[in-house]
Chains A and B, each alone.
Chain A
Amino acid sequence: MEPLLKVEALDMSFGGVQALSEVSFSALAGRITAVIGPNGAGKTTAINCISGVYRPQGGRVLFGGQAITGLAPHVLARQGLTRTFQNLQVFTNLTVLENVMVGLHGVTGKGFVSAMLRLPGQRAEERRIRARALEALTFLGLAARAGLPAGQLSYGDRKRVELARALVARPKLVLLDEPVAGLNPAETEEMGRVLLEVRRQGVGLLLVEHDMSLVMRVSDQVVVLHFGRQIAQGDPQAIQRHPEVLRTYLGCQDQPPPGVEPAIALEAAHA
């Protein structure tokens, strides 16, 4: 099967620090691909390069066979590639429902003039947007909070609002930057179920995550980054036995690289 997303030899550096060098990996449609690696491995940078926030200095990104390198984020959203953020980016001045309604921006089209004049087509579109957004909120169990300002939500609920916003337009691929960071075990468990359900509906997910048990439970494929290099890609079982991955996480031969969280190393060791 031709992968939905192909990342080829991405290069990116910030003021002399090489955040990504020659990173390549791919993600399949309707599957969950996880990108893991110690802090500073370049995971978020990779997501930012794919989603158009950064323009990579080298390499290219293919989405559905088309080169999308350097395209603006809003163009990618229209092509079915959306994302969530590690540091939450909920629109705090909008209500929960409005947040998710904005998620449909890329797949709807009424502009300034029809909005100001309230033309009939615009009213119909507004109704469709509202209905679909409510549907997405119901799917994530947030329907009861639809009218609240998003700024008043708890951290866990904000994460779900972001997910609903990224999913509501039924994209082909969603990039999730640490979807369970900061969630308690019960919420993490619930999020894992949601991700699998989204996968079942045919949406591809590319997630960056530190929580190894979640990664091993939900992923079809795992990509390992280390100091800006891709060191392995494979299914979860293969990754757990991969010698270089073990060396990276456990530091069997070398000193553990700075920034490796012991918990992750332990988790990886026990898995």
Chain B
Amino acid sequence: MNGGRAFLWQLLALAAAVVLAPLLVGNPYHLNVLNVMALNVLVVTGLNLLIGFAGHISLGHAAFYGLGAYVSGILSSTHGWDPWLSSLAAALVVALVALVIGIPTLRLAGNYLVMATLGFNLIVTILILQLDEFTGGPSGFSGIPPLKVLGRSLASDQQFYWLVWGAALLGLLLARNLADSRVGRGLKALHDSPVAAAAVGVPTAAYKVKVFVLSAVYASLAGSLYAHYFGIVTPKTFDIFFSVELVTMCLVGGMGSLWGGFFGAAFLTPLPQVLHVFDEYKDVFFGGILLVLLIYQPQGLAGLWTRHARARAARSA
């Protein structure tokens, strides 16, 4: 997990790029792709906290994303809640669900979280499909109101762009702050050696659960933003295959590296959207990339970068 001052400069560079990008991207469709990218960055940043800190992988983040979208969507349209309030309520619901899944599974050694979140994602998808009275079933749930800031609806791609990229940058900053703190060191320590971390006072089980809940909340908030941006949510967006895609973004970029996750999301989000022909071969492509990377470069793209940086440092030394 990155911390330190360098990260702040890099984040500032990204912020500058975010400000400049709309000048270059006039096409609203491309802006839309950038918006989806920011949403994915947010989810992946949260997921990365879990992978990098606790060393656990979740195959249920699409479901947390989906719950964030559906709960907030339903509360704000069917029940007329303010979208901000409904997003918060959705995050609370998701935090609770993550707590229920995390407490029994994370105290065990082994990969029980993967199994539990996998089962959970499948259940959520089936429930969304079957509870059509509330969720609209397979055709989706529509008529979700947009978010409002100072009385103005954020309905256009342009307006939403500022909101969602602001959220992504903030998400990265908060994650970095956590990494570079007492809690962050405790988490990194427990990833290295759980017994030794516990021996100096790190409550290992509680920390793993907390970081899992935090990472689920990241996904939920992104999901709520998604719902209020598009105004419609469909079950397919949040199925198990999207969970796999999210993990792919983390792993392609580099497990547990915040920038790795960012680049994974930035690289993989636009591909299927920009190349329409590619949509047909999406599975072959995603599976192939992930397979080759995991076999030959398990540290992901971030690993390539650190190796490069180390080699450069060694040459100059």
Residues of A within 8 A of B (CB): 51-53, 72-74, 77-78, 82-83, 85, 89-94, 98-99, 101-108, 110-112, 115-118, 122, 125-126, 129, 162, 165-166, 169
The proximity string for B residues 191-207 relative to A, scoring 1 for CB distances below 8 Å and 0 otherwise, is 11101111111111000
Cβ–Cβ contact B181 & A110, under 8 A: yes
Cβ–Cβ contact B201 & A115, under 8 A: no
Chain B positions within 8 Å of A103 at CB level: 200
**In the complex with contacts A94-B188, A111-B183, A102-B197 CB distance below 8 A:** yes
- Total interface residues on B, CB under 8 Å, equals 27
Considering the chains assembled together, what is the distance between the CA atoms of A138 and B171 in angstroms? Answer: 37
Contacts A105-B186, A105-B189 given; 11 further ones with Cβ under 8 A?
Answer: A72-B203, A77-B198, A77-B201, A78-B201, A93-B192, A111-B183, A112-B178, A112-B214, A115-B178, A122-B182, A126-B182
Cβ–Cβ contact B196 & A89, under 8 A: yes
Q: Is B66 an interface residue (CB 8 A)?
A: no
Considering the chains assembled together, what is the distance between the CA atoms of A83 and B189 in angstroms? Answer: 15
Considering the chains assembled together, what is the distance between the CA atoms of A83 and B192 in angstroms? Answer: 17
Q: Which of these, A77, A111, A112, A125, contacts B199 with CB under 8 Å? A: A77
Q: Which of these, A51, A90, A98, A169, contacts B185 with CB under 8 Å? A: A98
**In the complex with contacts A91-B193, A92-B192, A94-B189, A115-B184 CB distance below 8 A:** yes
Smallest Cβ distance from B268 to chain A, in angstroms?
A: 26
Cβ–Cβ contact B200 & A165, under 8 A: yes
Q: Is B174 an interface residue (CB 8 A)?
A: yes
Within residues 35 to 93 of chain B, which ones have a CB less than 8 A from any CB in chain A?
none
Cβ–Cβ contact B189 & A110, under 8 A: no
Cβ–Cβ contact A110 & B183, under 8 A: yes
Main SS of the interface on chain B?
helix
Cβ–Cβ contact A74 & B198, under 8 A: yes
Cβ–Cβ contact B191 & A93, under 8 A: yes
23 contacts between A and B (CB under 8 A): A74-B197, A74-B200, A77-B200, A82-B199, A83-B199, A91-B193, A92-B192, A93-B192, A94-B188, A94-B192, A102-B186, A105-B186, A105-B197, A105-B202, A108-B182, A110-B181, A110-B182, A115-B178, A117-B177, A122-B182, A125-B182, A165-B196, A169-B200
Chain B positions within 8 Å of A169 at CB level: 200-201
Smallest Cβ distance from B250 to chain A, in angstroms?
A: 17
**In the complex with contacts A112-B214, A116-B177, A122-B181, A102-B200 CB distance below 8 A:** yes
Q: Is B30 an interface residue (CB 8 A)?
A: no
Chain A positions within 8 Å of B199 at CB level: 51, 73-74, 77, 82-83, 85, 89, 166
Considering the chains assembled together, what is the distance between the CA atoms of A98 and B200 in angstroms? Answer: 13
Q: How many A-B residue pairs have CB under 8 A?
A: 109
Which chain A residue has the least Cβ–Cβ distance from B203? A74
Cβ–Cβ contact B196 & A105, under 8 A: no
Smallest Cβ distance from A203 to chain B, in angstroms?
A: 15
Q: Is B236 an interface residue (CB 8 A)?
A: no
Residues of B within 8 A of A (CB): 174-175, 177-178, 181-186, 188-189, 191-193, 195-204, 210, 214
Smallest Cβ distance from A81 to chain B, in angstroms?
A: 9
Chain A positions within 8 Å of B201 at CB level: 74, 77-78, 82, 105-107, 169
Which chain A residue has the least Cβ–Cβ distance from B214? A112
Considering the chains assembled together, what is the distance between the CA atoms of A77 and B195 in angstroms? Answer: 12
Cβ–Cβ contact B196 & A115, under 8 A: no
**In the complex with contacts A110-B181, A126-B181, A73-B195 CB distance below 8 A:** yes
Considering the chains assembled together, what is the distance between the CA atoms of A125 and B210 in angstroms? Answer: 21
Cβ–Cβ contact B185 & A101, under 8 A: yes
Smallest Cβ distance from A86 to chain B, in angstroms?
A: 11
Chain A positions within 8 Å of B196 at CB level: 85, 89-91, 162, 165
Smallest Cβ distance from A136 to chain B, in angstroms?
A: 12
Considering the chains assembled together, what is the distance between the CA atoms of A20 and B191 in angstroms? Answer: 31
Smallest Cβ distance from A221 to chain B, in angstroms?
A: 23
Considering the chains assembled together, what is the distance between the CA atoms of A40 and B256 in angstroms? Answer: 40
Q: Which 6 residue pairs of A and B lie closest in terms of their CB atoms, listed nearest first?
A: A106-B201, A77-B201, A89-B196, A115-B181, A73-B198, A91-B192
Considering the chains assembled together, what is the distance between the CA atoms of A261 and B196 in angstroms? Answer: 28
Smallest Cβ distance from B236 to chain A, in angstroms?
A: 33
Smallest Cβ distance from A28 to chain B, in angstroms?
A: 22
Smallest Cβ distance from B78 to chain A, in angstroms?
A: 32
Which chain B residue has the least Cβ–Cβ distance from A118? B177
Chain A positions within 8 Å of B184 at CB level: 115
Smallest Cβ distance from B200 to chain A, in angstroms?
A: 5
Chain B positions within 8 Å of A104 at CB level: 182, 200
Smallest Cβ distance from A80 to chain B, in angstroms?
A: 10
Smallest Cβ distance from B209 to chain A, in angstroms?
A: 11
Considering the chains assembled together, what is the distance between the CA atoms of A178 and B308 in angstroms? Answer: 40
Which chain A residue has the least Cβ–Cβ distance from B186? A105
Considering the chains assembled together, what is the distance between the CA atoms of A32 and B230 in angstroms? Answer: 68
Chain A positions within 8 Å of B203 at CB level: 72, 74
Considering the chains assembled together, what is the distance between the CA atoms of A126 and B179 in angstroms? Answer: 13
**In the complex with contacts A53-B195, A91-B196, A111-B183, A116-B178 CB distance below 8 A:** yes
